Structure 1
Amino acid sequence: MQKQIRLRSAGRSAGPERGLSMASKSKKVILFIAEGPTDEDTLSPILKKIFQNDEVRFHIVHGDMTSNWSVSVNSAVKTVYEHIEMERKRYGFQKSDIQKVIHLVDTDGVFIPDDRIIYHKGKDIQYYDDRVEAPFPQRVLDRNQRKSQILSRLSETGKVGTLPYRVYYFSRNLEHVFHNRTGNLTDAEKIDFADDFADRYLSDPEGFLAFLSDSDFTVSGDYDDTWKFIAQGVNSLHRHSNFHLLFESSPS
């Protein structure tokens, strides 16, 4: 059983939409990098309540930078840095304002053995607990090779520039972990799930932390252990996450 995470108590202060207000200039920014807007819709309200003494910001990539064909293992850290700079300049805060950068990623089953990628006649990639079926298996093989190497590289990166950095995963994706939903969801379904989740836990952040730290999907061990685990066998197809570790670590 995982150690229960405790919420730090403090008075809540809402952050401004742009820049840092006079009241919040003493706060440090925790910058979350995520793939899509429903990640922010799901997590941002709860995270702002948990990290009450900090300024929570989300940078939405609108896609998966770790499977983008323009990103390589050698350029992965630089790409993350470019996204940080994009958000920093957009909102007008300094590097010294950033406490840490948290990168949220989906695993998409990229660590599975090659022989678990199978041809099927359908139009879309289908994910199962023991295999991936795709109309063009070689494309999935190529993606898995690149993305798994990039994720391994990022997981070993403790800093981007001078900024503390950690990457946490949802396997296969956030909806899989939080709602135990498999298959391809529509944008409307993702929005409904995000709204329901935020409504459920906004007034119960302790319940959210307990959900993360003591569920079937919670991966035990330290940060390095959780990344070794997800890279084994078909674990990256199963319902797993190491996101709870963010809240167990001491504030920077």
Structure 2
Amino acid sequence: MSRQKIILFIVEGTTDEDALSGILKKLFQNNLIKFAIVRSDITIAPGISTKNCKEKINEVVKRYINTYKVNKNDICEIVHLVDTDGCYIDKSCVFKSPDAEKSYQLNGIYALDPEKMIQRNQLKSRILNSILGIRELTFDNNKVKIPYSLFYFACNLEHVLHDQPNALREDKEALADAFSDSYEGREADFLEFITNSDFAVSGNYRETWDFIQNDLHSLERHTNFGVYFRRNDKVCKE
């Protein structure tokens, strides 16, 4: 029997894995589903730039490989899941928060320091646009090439899965567990949810990214993760 290949998901935090791991393992039974958890937002990490962002992602993968003693050739693809956090909205839609709390609202982002938030959005959007051009990650002097793709949750994971863009940090773990439990044994329903809901952006990979970069879309409830399943012949739909 041939060794199962790994689909490696790069995610920001443990709640991404908690919410999606069980479902993905059922949908990709012929592969090993693994998660590389960054534990921060790599798109606004200190020192990141459009010139080194690919290298930074490579470092995440290398760290996973070294930690878990994985053979690079056993990874068949890398799927990077990110929150948009409203980063593509116009700076005129960033406002001073009346209560010293950051919040995502229908008309914009309310921040304690609007100028700092605008700068964050500018950096994050530039990095995402640069990462979007990556089609593969290379290792060992280009001897190993692994397909790479980038998918988004807008304005964040909790917004898409629970319609709660401003979920409290202390509630996120419970929300993730509840979501995972709700689709246990109902993986086909998850596919319907993520590919055909009103918030599932239609179109191909490039078109869904063009969509999220316009107007207030990166602040609204949208995801293009459904594109991954629509184009993927590895999915076990039964």
What is the CA–CA distance in structure 2 between the aligned matches of 1:26 and 1:180, rounded to whole Å? 39
**1:170 aligned residue (116, 128, 153):** 153
The amino acid across from 2:184 in the alignment is: L
In the TM superposition, residue 74 of structure 1 has moved relative to its aligned partner by 1.0
**1:231 aligned residue (191, 213, 218):** 213
The answer for the alignment partner of 1:15 in structure 2 is: none
The amino acid across from 2:208 in the alignment is: T
The answer for the alignment partner of 1:110 in structure 2 is: 87
> Where do 1:1-252 residues align within 5 Å?
26-161=3-138, 162-187=145-170, 189-251=171-233
Give CA deviations for 1:195-221 in whole Å, capped at 9, x if unaligned.
111111121110100111110110000
Give CA deviations for 1:33-58 in whole Å, capped at 9, x if unaligned.
10110110000011011110001100
Count of equivalent residues: 228
Q: Identify the range of structure 1 (73-82 vs 121-130) with the bigger mean alpha-carbon deviation.
A: 121-130
The amino acid across from 1:180 in the alignment is: D
Root-mean-square deviation (CA, aligned residues, Å) is 1.4
What is the CA–CA distance in structure 2 between the aligned matches of 1:190 and 1:229, rounded to whole Å? 27
In the TM superposition, residue 78 of structure 1 has moved relative to its aligned partner by 0.6
CA contact (8 A) 2:22 2:180 kept: yes
What is the CA–CA distance in structure 2 between the aligned matches of 1:121 and 1:180, rounded to whole Å? 23
What is the CA–CA distance in structure 2 between the aligned matches of 1:199 and 1:215, rounded to whole Å? 19
In the TM superposition, residue 69 of structure 1 has moved relative to its aligned partner by 2.6
In the TM superposition, residue 165 of structure 1 has moved relative to its aligned partner by 0.3
Runs of 4+ in 1 over 6 A off after TM superposition: none
Matched residue SS, 1:33: strand
In the TM superposition, residue 184 of structure 1 has moved relative to its aligned partner by 3.8
Give CA deviations for 1:143-198 in whole Å, capped at 9, x if unaligned.
111100111111121111121000110001111001111324132x2111111111
CA contact (8 A) 1:155 1:167 kept: yes
The answer for the alignment partner of 2:142 in structure 1 is: none
Give CA deviations for 1:45-99 in whole Å, capped at 9, x if unaligned.
1101111000110011111011113211111111000000100111111111110
In the TM superposition, residue 114 of structure 1 has moved relative to its aligned partner by 1.0
What is the CA–CA distance in structure 1 between the aligned matches of 2:97 and 2:188, rounded to whole Å? 44
The answer for the alignment partner of 2:141 in structure 1 is: none
CA contact (8 A) 2:158 2:167 kept: no
User: What percent identity do the matched residue pairs reach?
Assistant: 38
CA contact (8 A) 1:34 1:58 kept: yes
Give CA deviations for 1:98-146 in whole Å, capped at 9, x if unaligned.
1000001000000001111112343222211121111211111111111
TM-score (norm 1): 0.87
What is the CA–CA distance in structure 2 between the aligned matches of 1:251 and 1:230, rounded to whole Å? 25
Unaligned runs of 5+ residues in structure 2 are: 139-144
What is the CA–CA distance in structure 1 between the aligned matches of 2:157 and 2:201, rounded to whole Å? 15
What is the CA–CA distance in structure 2 between the aligned matches of 1:134 and 1:120, rounded to whole Å? 5
TM-score (norm 2): 0.92
